[in-house]
Amino acid sequence: MKVRPLITLTLVNLSTGSFSTKVTAARSFAGKFVLVQRLSSSGVATEKKVILDTNSSATFRVRLHQGRSRLRVVMPTSQTAPGYITGVSKVLTVSR
């Protein structure tokens, strides 16, 4: 049975554009990567590829545009397999 890992995305510091993400599942995803994506009316753009540490988490910076930015984190099946399918965090909306 295939299961999605739980992915959280949180704002660490708005002024520096720092965020953190954590992937939770029955096993570790240390050394695997996640993709940070920006959502807009014209579609989805991948902003950054982030490598997870030994706790299956990472802290990273993203350049935020003026106004509203909508971000999410995606872990593709190539990084979650075996036993897991693509995981997606909730969309985080931040305003500058």
Residue ranges with strand state E in the chain: 6-13, 18-24, 33-40, 43-51, 57-61, 68-75, 87-88, 92-95
**3-state SS, residue 79:** helix
- pLDDT-derived band at 1 (thresholds 50, 70, 90) equals low
**Nearest of 48, 42, 53 to residue 71 by alpha carbon:** 48
Q: Does domain 6-95 have CATH number 2.60.40.10?
A: yes
- For 91, the token pair is 């969309």
> Tell me: the pLDDT tens digits for 26-53?
999 999 999 999 999 999 999 999 999 9
Average pLDDT across the chain, whole number: 95
Mean pLDDT (whole number) for 70-74: 97
Q: Is residue 93 within 8 Å of 70, Cβ to Cβ?
A: yes
What pTM was estimated for this model as a whole? Answer: 0.93
